[in-house]
Every structure is written in C-alpha cells, then in structure tokens.
Amino acid sequence: MSVLVNKDSKVIVQGFTGSEGTFHAEQMIDYGTQVVGGVTPGKGGQEHLGKPVFNTVAEAVEKVGADTSIIFVPPAFAADAIMEAANAGIKVIITITEGIPVADMVKVAEYIKNRDCRLIGPNCPGVITPGEAKVGIMPGFVFKKGTIGIVSKSGTLTYEAADQVVRQGLGITTAIGIGGDPIIGTTTKEAVELLINDPETEAVVMIGEIGGQLEADAAKWYKASGSKKPIIGFIAGETAPAGRTMGHAGAIVGGSDDTAQAKKKIMREHGIHVVDSPAEIGLKVKEVMG
C-alpha cells in the first residue's frame, strides 16, 4: 500500500514542453514513474520525450487515462492549470509552482472543494513512493522503500529526513511534500491522516515550520485518533524573529501560539516524539521503532 501515488498512477505533466517540465519529466521517467504524456496548449499532437503532448487535460484523460498530474506552469497561469485538472477528473494534482498569488489560491480552494480530487502544494517538492513513482522534483536516489511515512512543509528537510531514515537501515512508504505557502491543498493533518491510515506505514515523520496552526491541528487529530503508530516531529524556524516571513510565504509567526517553541509544546502534549534538531530525526525514528 502507498498513498497518493504508486506504480499504477498514470501521470501527466502540465507545462510539459517548458524547461522545468522537460527536465523533471525526464527524471521522473528515468525513475520508472508511469508518465503517460503532457499538456502544453497549442502543441497538441506533437511528441515530447517519446510521450504524446495534448492541448488540454481533458484530452489527456480521455486518450491515455491520466489520473495524476504534476504542474510546472508559471505562477500567473498555475491556478487555471489546477482548476483545469480538477475539472477534467484528475484525482491527484501535484503543484510544484512557487509564487502563485494568494488571491488565485483562494479561488482554487473554493473551486476544488466539492470535486473528487486531492491537491498537493503549491510550492512543494511533490510526492514519492520509493521504487514505484516519483511525482516531483526530489532526488529519487535518496529514498529507499520501507515503513516510515514522511510529511513535510520543506523540500530540503524531506530529503534530509529520508536520508537519515535510510541510514538507520529503515525506509520510506511515501513522502509527501505539502508546500510552504499560506494556502495549500492538503494540510499537515490530512497528510498525516493518510499515512496513519495506511496499513504499511508503521511510523510517521512530521516536519513543520513556524507560522500557522497546521501542526497543532495534526497533533490534536493524532491524539484524538488513538493511533498507536508513533509520530516523530520537528519544527523548523526556532530562531526566527517574530513577524518576519522566513523562507516560505506561510512561515510567519503571527502570535505566541505559532512559534517553534509553542508548536513543539503542543506536539509533545499530544503524544508526538519531538526532536530539537533535524540531525536527530533518524536516530529518534530508530529509537521509537525499537
């Protein structure tokens, strides 16, 4: 079992023929991901990287049965790309694009609310199920198959956590980079819930950052769920000054409740094993897995 993506996922790349889309599509194909084509309006009927190019997502769904999309569309057009994918019946929409205006994402959130799809991102590294599918920009070689799920707001910390878990002789079921923007599709709680409910995932690494309530919401859900699967947590941004955006648009401390210290306290109170440094993640996973 994996969550969100696996060897059967039929992936299309929106923004397929652009430089970013081309580069990462090649990496995904090399990894073994089932990329079935791509979408670039006006270039339908062509072939790119040995895969068909379509003018619309609807066409890709109809012709090659696409069910998963990864979006490398410039910020000004990315919201439309997400809504087009949702409207065409794509089930998992992974948006890599950084810098999508918040107002656009407000519209997207409203648009997809009652549609049968899941948005990951934007401004995220994507999702990987090791050995099956890499739908994102992460370095695939870092990830080995195993029983630890990863949920992270940070791309680089996703890779760091995976590397540490693997160095401890363990591996990853699925790693989900949810993105660090103020408005994202899948929250920390929702991603944690997917992994806790996955029969093959035996523990979850949850990497958050200052700003917002996502980690607190996840911690409260976890305690209420009564799950016996351990969660190992880390919050980035401990030394950040209040009121300043750090790295991600969503990483801004608004009050005393969304500092790193406050979040870690809430997480500990709700049964999460919290580490104070990302360097301790792998060792803590190994320890709690016994």
Model confidence band, residue 4 (pLDDT cutoffs 50, 70, 90): very high
Q: Tell me, yes or no, whether 285 and 164 share the same domain.
A: yes
pTM across the whole model: 0.95
Which residue range(s) make up the domain with 36? 11-120
Q: CATH number of the domain that 170 lies in?
A: 3.40.50.261
Q: Is 2 among the domain residues? A: no
Q: What phi, psi does 75 have (nearest 5°)?
A: -50, -40
Q: Tell me, yes or no, whether 90 and 170 share the same domain.
A: no
Q: Is the pLDDT of residue 246 over 70?
A: no
Q: Is 262 among the domain residues? A: yes
Q: Could you give the strand order of the β-sheet that contains 145-152, starting from the edge strand earlier in sequence?
A: 133-136, 126-129, 172-177, 145-152, 203-209, 231-236, 273-274
CB within 8 Å of 23: residues ≥ 6 apart: none
- Write out the catalytic residue numbers: 248
Question: Per-residue pLDDT tens for 165-180?
Answer: 999 999 999 999 999 9
Question: Per-residue pLDDT tens for 41-89?
Answer: 999 999 999 999 999 999 999 999 999 999 999 999 999 999 999 999 9
Q: Is 54 among the domain residues? A: yes
Q: Tell me, yes or no, whether 213 and 249 share the same domain.
A: yes
Q: Tell me, yes or no, whether 147 and 255 share the same domain.
A: yes
Q: Annotated binding residue at 32?
A: no
Cis peptide upstream of residue 122 (ω within 30 degrees of 0)? yes
Q: Tell me, yes or no, whether 180 and 104 share the same domain.
A: no
Rounded Cα distance between 54 and 46, Å, is: 8
Q: Tell me, yes or no, whether 240 and 276 share the same domain.
A: yes
Q: Annotated binding residue at 187?
A: no
Position 252 scores a pLDDT of: 62
Q: Annotated binding residue at 178?
A: no
Q: Is 3 among the domain residues? A: no
Q: Tell me, yes or no, whether 279 and 225 share the same domain.
A: yes
Position 69 scores a pLDDT of: 99
Work out the angle between the directed axes of helices 260-269 and 214-225 (0-180°, nearest 10): 0
Q: Annotated binding residue at 22?
A: no
Position 211 scores a pLDDT of: 85
Question: Per-residue pLDDT tens for 208-243?
Answer: 998 889 999 999 999 999 999 999 999 998 876 666
Rounded Cα distance between 111 and 146, Å, is: 36
Q: Is 130 among the domain residues? A: no
Q: Is the pLDDT of residue 144 over 90?
A: yes
CB-based contact 173:200 (threshold 8 Å):
yes
Rounded Cα distance between 184 and 173, Å, is: 22
Q: Tell me, yes or no, whether 107 and 196 share the same domain.
A: no
Residue found by looking up tokens 């799920």 in the block: 149
Mean pLDDT of all residues belonging to the chain:
95
Q: Is 129 among the domain residues? A: no
Domains contained in the chain, number: 2
Q: Tell me, yes or no, whether 203 and 275 share the same domain.
A: yes
CB atoms within 10 A of CB 13: 33
Q: Annotated binding residue at 17?
A: yes
Q: Which of 85, 120, 155 is the last residue of a domain?
A: 120
Q: Annotated binding residue at 196?
A: no
Q: Tell me, yes or no, whether 89 and 163 share the same domain.
A: no
